[in-house]
């Protein structure tokens, strides 16, 4: 089948590569000329395991191509996927300008029936807006009445696991008011739907809301645990023991109940805000979502407060080794990353940062440029050199069992602020390391 994908970011590239991998003829279009030029040479600027080789092999096989030419792109695919960004606007709403721009582009070049598939995360009612823009653009061309369908097909992939999530999805949500359009998508997704039927067909608005509901639920689970961690700290309990204690209840489960430095990334923060905004527009105050957003913002500052307390508020001239810049492991994405909040607070307090991340070093340089108070190191060991303390922000696997002798040897003082609770409290005590975790009342009591 012939498929066009607008937007060559995390979602567009993964969708394009995976659809090509099963034999389709995919054309990806992006407005970013530099990005497209790189992709045409097989250069993938984002880190997503398995993505680059999959893109290269499908380009070599002639099933995947990249272009800036919108007219060519609209002509190409019977399916026109919209996978462009929907960032937060100033008021927290999802900014639809890129999505509606694509709708206008498709309307400008449409010359036969096509299925417009919205994969971007968009507020309820966006499919109606996309349809209205298309109809108006066609009308202006004197082609009113030309047939097309708009389908909502929200994407649930996780960065770091995106290929697997796309190839073996938990569910394929299709929102439409026309069952025939859903059948086109059933055919398109058949290669990913062989083991058992994962397709869930529903109305457009419900599909649009399903994506927000999923992200808001996950963000709420994390935030609930962070709130409990803060309580545990106050009452001298260890949240890690509590986590295991509640996770064993099947109704609760072990996933997404890890306390930490707050959620980040390109989805949860903006999607919680956008859902809260959508509710507000309808006169409903979503108090739980507001609280999740607020608690998460505060959580991102929690580690800095611990650092400040430990050093009696005097951070001027101090140096911190920071392990982990990406908002989570296996990605280089630093959008809304807790590391950014922490570094910016440390800098504001006059401290310097020696940072290491296995994948996000280039991204950090792109965001912050060259500055005296940020050294981006090429190894986790280098980052430790003469630092006043080690701060762990992202739970990359390689940080789980480090050489503590080496850490103690390189740091000025043996102090670790662990935003991901990677280490055992007793081990830290045996090693003689002053250790601050999240919600580990015992560790706080011992070190104070
Ligand atoms: N990143 C994720 O993990 C993830 C997961 C599920 C859903 N989503 C949602 O998918 C959407 C895309 O997210 P992303 O992370 O891939 O975004 P991204 O910012 O990585 O990529 C968006 C791309 O769209 C391009 N673009 C903008 N306007 C365009 C236009 N008119 N025509 C063609 N290309 C255009 C940009 O240049 C950019 O390359 C968002 O709505 C997001 O919420 C993201």
Strand order, beta sheet including 374-376: 374-376, 352-356, 319-323, 389-392, 415-418, 434-436
Active site residue 28: no
Each residue of 175-209: pLDDT tens digit?
999 999 999 999 999 999 998 999 999 999 999 99
Question: 186 with 226: CB under 8 angstroms?
Answer: no
pLDDT of residue 441: 74
**Mean pLDDT, residues 299-326 taken together:** 97
DSSP 22: T
Helices (H), 22-120: 33-40, 51-60, 70-76, 97-109
Domains of the chain, start order? 2-200 (3.40.50.720), 216-447 (3.40.50.720)
Ligand 1 closest atom vs CA 94: 41
pLDDT of residue 445: 46
- Taking alpha carbons only, the member of 153, 149, 138, 25 closest to residue 77 is 25
pLDDT of residue 63: 98
**Mean pLDDT, residues 223-241 taken together:** 96
Q: How far apart are CA 181 and CA 442, in angstroms?
A: 58
pLDDT of residue 442: 54
Q: What's the CA-to-centroid distance between 8 and ligand 1, angstroms? A: 7
Ligand 1 closest atom vs CA 270: 43
Question: 161 with 10: CB under 8 angstroms?
Answer: no
- Which residues does 431 contact at the CB level (< 8 Å), separation at least 6? 404, 408, 414
Reduce the DSSP state of residue 395 to 3 states and report it.
Answer: coil
Q: How far apart are CA 425 and CA 133, in angstroms?
A: 58
Pocket lining: 330 vs ligand 1, CB cutoff 6 Å: no
- 174 forms bridges with which residues in the sheet? 201
Pocket lining: 332 vs ligand 1, CB cutoff 6 Å: no
Pocket lining: 153 vs ligand 1, CB cutoff 6 Å: no
- Residue 117 pLDDT > 70: yes
- Residue 444 pLDDT > 60: no
Pocket lining: 437 vs ligand 1, CB cutoff 6 Å: no
Q: How far apart are CA 90 and CA 411, in angstroms?
A: 41
Task: Label residue 443 exposed, middle or buried (CB < 10 Å: 0-12, 13-18, 19+).
Answer: buried
**Mean pLDDT, residues 349-367 taken together:** 98
Q: What's the CA-to-centroid distance between 67 and ligand 1, angstroms? A: 16
Give me the chain's average pLDDT, please: 96
Q: What's the CA-to-centroid distance between 100 and ligand 1, angstroms? A: 13
Q: What's the CA-to-centroid distance between 84 and ligand 1, angstroms? A: 3
- Taking alpha carbons only, the member of 261, 298, 263, 290 closest to residue 274 is 290
Pocket lining: 67 vs ligand 1, CB cutoff 6 Å: no
Ligand 1 closest atom vs CA 8: 39
Q: What's the CA-to-centroid distance between 104 and ligand 1, angstroms? A: 17
Q: What is the pTM of this model?
A: 0.94
DSSP 95: P
In this structure, of 144-153, 259-268, 272-281, 438-447, the range with the lowest mean pLDDT score is 438-447
Question: 174 with 201: CB under 8 angstroms?
Answer: yes
- Residue 448 pLDDT > 80: no
Whole-number CA gyration radius for the chain: 24
Conformational region of residue 283, where left means phi above 0, alpha means psi within -120 to 50, and beta covers everything else = left
Each residue of 371-404: pLDDT tens digit?
999 999 999 999 999 999 999 999 999 999 999 9
- Residue 331 pLDDT > 50: yes
- 374 forms bridges with which residues in the sheet? 353, 371
- 319 forms bridges with which residues in the sheet? 352
Pocket lining: 8 vs ligand 1, CB cutoff 6 Å: yes
């Amino acid at each position: 089948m012939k498929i066009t994908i607008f937007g060559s970011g995390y979602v567009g590239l993964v969708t394009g590569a995976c659809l090509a991998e099963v034999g389709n003829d995919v054309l990806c279009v992006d407005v970013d000329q530099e990005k497209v030029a790189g992709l045409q040479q097989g250069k993938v600027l984002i880190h997503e395991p398995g993505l680059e080789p999959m893109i290269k092999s499908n380009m070599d096989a002639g099933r995947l191509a990249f272009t800036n030419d919108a007219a060519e792109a609209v002509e190409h695919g019977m399916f026109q996927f919209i996978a462009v960004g929907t960032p937060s606007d100033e008021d927290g709403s999802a900014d639809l300008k890129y999505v509606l721009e694509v709708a206008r582009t498709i309307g400008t070049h449409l010359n036969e029936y096509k299925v417009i598939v919205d994969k971007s995360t968009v507020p309820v009612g966006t499919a109606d807006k996309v349809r209205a823009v298309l109809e108006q653009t066609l009308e202006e061309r004197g082609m009113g009445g030309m047939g097309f369908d708009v389908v909502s097909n929200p994407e649930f992939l996780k960065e770091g696991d995106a290929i697997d999530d796309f190839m073996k999805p938990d569910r394929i949500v299709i929102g439409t008011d026309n069952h025939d359009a859903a059948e086109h998508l059933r055919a398109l997704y058949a290669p990913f739907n062989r083991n058992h039927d994962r397709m869930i067909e529903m109305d457009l608005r419900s599909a649009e809301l399903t994506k927000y509901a999923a992200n808001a639920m996950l963000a709420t689970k994390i935030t609930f645990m962070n709130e409990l961690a803060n309580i545990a700290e106050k009452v001298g309990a260890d949240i890690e023991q509590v986590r295991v204690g509640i996770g064993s209840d099947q109704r609760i489960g072990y996933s997404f109940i890890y306390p930490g430095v707050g959620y980040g990334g390109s989805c949860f923060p903006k999607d919680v805000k956008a859902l809260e905004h959508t509710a507000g527009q309808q006169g409903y105050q979503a108090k739980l979502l507001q609280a999740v957003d607020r608690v998460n913002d505060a959580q991102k500052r929690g580690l800095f407060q611990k650092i400040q307390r430990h050093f009696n508020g005097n951070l001027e001239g101090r140096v911190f080794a920071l392990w982990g810049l990406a908002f989570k492991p296996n990605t280089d994405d630093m959008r809304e990353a807790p590391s950014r909040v922490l570094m910016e607070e440390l800098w504001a307090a006059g401290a310097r940062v020696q940072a290491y991340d296995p994948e996000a070093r280039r991204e950090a340089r792109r965001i912050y440029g060259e500055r005296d108070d940020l050294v981006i190191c090429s190894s986790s060991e280098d980052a430790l050199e003469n630092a006043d303390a080690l701060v762990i922000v992202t739970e990359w696997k390689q940080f789980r069992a480090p050489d503590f002798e080496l850490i103690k040897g390189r740091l000025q003082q043996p102090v670790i602020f662990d935003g991901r609770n990677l280490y055992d409290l007793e081990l830290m005590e045996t090693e003689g390391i002053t250790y601050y975790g999240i919600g580990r009342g015992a560790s706080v009591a011992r070190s104070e």
